Structure 1
Amino acid sequence: MENLDICAAQYCSVAGNLNANIDRHAQFMRLAAKQGVKFLLFPELSLTGYEPTFARKLSQAPDAEILQPLRELAKQLRMTTVVGLPLSHAGSGAVLIGALVFSADGSQTVYTKQHLHPGEETVFSSGNGGSFLNIGSEKIALSVCADFTHASHVQNAVKAGAGVYATSVLISDNGYPRDSRLLKGYAREHSLGVLMANHGGPSGGWACAGRSAFWAPGGQLLVSAVGTGDCLIIARRRQGVWQGQTVECSTTR
């Protein structure tokens, strides 16, 4: 079984400040690359914060020039990176909760959140998901927050041959016990690696739980952030055995 180094960025977004978040994402990316990471996952709407009132104003087209530094950096570092932001849908005026994938080879793909939480439909439209990612010989399935609460979403990933299920989320203190049990259950039931990237601080009025994590196939909690704050949660597979590491992040805001 091929070696694999994947990472969840637990990230404290600067509310509504796209430029500041782009700069801080680049700092996280460089730090992750120094750790040998090949796949880096940021939380839901990481580039703006989970701020529905700002979403339409801050929404970007997938090919927006303002995002070019992150595209180029992902290619330079040879590290596939998934960032979250509101995406404008050309021609319809719809705003989607998007995950942009900047691939190590310089290409780009888009994943859009399929299942909205109650209330999100006042600002956002449902998306169509997206393609699986190949990191080396590993197939990784993406999801954004409420997507993972639908068992069929995970089941479809497993049927397609995914070995890792990577979810970008905003999970509050109150929701964490339930949601973490669900993700652990998927890892156990489907023998699936589950990577979860959560916000590390308050966003959109929510007290986010942090505690980003990776559950190894079989359901063992391999590594988790202790609480809130900026950090990297790294899962490494060597000769078929998973190991975990937490790296604290000290970045400028």
Structure 2
Amino acid sequence: MSIPVLAAAQCAIRDGDLKGNVALHLQFMQRAAELGVGLLLFPELSLTGYEPSTASALAQPLASPLLEPLQAFAQRVGMTTIVGLPLRVSGQAKPHIAACVLHADGAISAYTKQYLHAGEEQFFSAGNGGELLSISGVSIALSVCADFAQPAHASNAASRGADVYASSVLIGEPGYPHDSAILQGYAQQHGMAVLMTNHGGPTAGWAAAGRSAFWDEQGQCVASTEGAGNRLLVISRRLKGWSGVSIPGPDAGWPAPQLPQVRSAQSVENR
């Protein structure tokens, strides 16, 4: 019997539409929870879109009301969920590019992007990474886009004992062959499975390729999405290895999520 343990939420978000993007995230979370997923990974800056020039205005602290419904839902269904956000940190003039980890027990933490693309330093501060996660006995190291362009980043993850290297990215069609080959190479080199979650639609003028994928410890592509669009890539671990399936997204008729009760909070859309 196979048990779904990981999933890539390839979502087509709307830049700056925090309320709408939260609702889309909740739809993905509900469907993943119904499938028994233990860890759900969203793309880079999934809640705001990849728009560096507006990142400072959209940045949120880790204790933001924006994250409350997502955090409460993750705890209610017992599913660790990782969402992308410009993270405002006290004492930092510029936000970090963060993968906010909404733990199954209700806790929240953040992985912050360590290596910035050329030009990102104008809008963001480099981060410090984060701790390994453990999901159903699987040790997972996080990365955000340009992190994986540094071989030392994946090497460090492997030396720390990661079973899976999970990367939240924004990759366009022209760069996809090169970037996916890097990730596949890490799987082969380090004997470490790789999960890559890409955007499913355009963001800030970038036409994302979609094609989220999972490579096993030998570098074989177990499953991938067919292209762009809203898709859920569910990865299961069997006794003899991994298997995966790509599922159409919420625009294919998923029901609206049953929202958890959270405390009242002021609107965060204009922060």
- Normalising to structure 1: TM-score of the pair? 0.96
1-side partners of 2:45 and 2:240: how far apart? 33
Where does residue 67 of structure 1 map in the other structure? 67
Q: Equivalent residue of 1:187, what SS?
A: helix
Q: Equivalent residue of 1:154, what SS?
A: helix
Q: Equivalent residue of 1:90, what SS?
A: coil
Uncovered stretches (5+) of structure 1, i.e. residues with no partner: none
The residue type paired with residue 232 of structure 2 is L
Q: How many residues are paired up? A: 252
Where does residue 12 of structure 1 map in the other structure? 12
Query: Contact conserved, 1:3 with 1:239, CA < 8 A, in 2?
Result: no
**1:116 maps to 2:116:** yes
2-side partners of 1:10 and 1:137: how far apart? 24
1-side partners of 2:222 and 2:84: how far apart? 25
1-side partners of 2:220 and 2:27: how far apart? 30
Where does residue 138 of structure 2 map in the other structure? 138
- Give CA deviations for 1:32-80 in whole Å, capped at 9, x if unaligned: 1111111000000000011112211110001112210000000011100
Dislocated runs of 4+, deviation >4 Å: none
1-side partners of 2:217 and 2:211: how far apart? 19
Q: Equivalent residue of 2:180, what SS?
A: helix
Q: Equivalent residue of 2:109, what SS?
A: strand
- Give the stretch that moved more between structures: 174-183 or 2-11: 2-11
Query: Contact conserved, 1:85 with 1:97, CA < 8 A, in 2?
Result: yes
- Give CA deviations for 1:89-113 in whole Å, capped at 9, x if unaligned: 1122221101100011111111000
- Normalising to structure 2: TM-score of the pair? 0.90
1:31-42 mapped onto 2 (5 Å cutoff): 31-42=31-42
Where does residue 202 of structure 1 map in the other structure? 202
Where does residue 103 of structure 1 map in the other structure? 103
Where does residue 166 of structure 1 map in the other structure? 166
Where does residue 217 of structure 1 map in the other structure? 217
2-side partners of 1:152 and 1:7: how far apart? 25
2-side partners of 1:236 and 1:191: how far apart? 18
- Give CA deviations for 1:147-167 in whole Å, capped at 9, x if unaligned: 011111011111111000000
2-side partners of 1:217 and 1:3: how far apart? 18
2-side partners of 1:59 and 1:131: how far apart? 22
Shift of 1:3: 5.3
Query: Contact conserved, 1:115 with 1:146, CA < 8 A, in 2?
Result: yes
The residue type paired with residue 109 of structure 1 is S
2-side partners of 1:66 and 1:156: how far apart? 32
Uncovered stretches (5+) of structure 2, i.e. residues with no partner: 254-271
- Give CA deviations for 1:206-237 in whole Å, capped at 9, x if unaligned: 11110000001100001011110000111100
The residue type paired with residue 234 of structure 2 is I
Shift of 1:204: 1.1
2-side partners of 1:67 and 1:106: how far apart? 11
The residue type paired with residue 58 of structure 1 is L
Query: Contact conserved, 1:99 with 1:111, CA < 8 A, in 2?
Result: yes
Shift of 1:240: 3.8
2-side partners of 1:186 and 1:4: how far apart? 23
The residue type paired with residue 82 of structure 2 is V
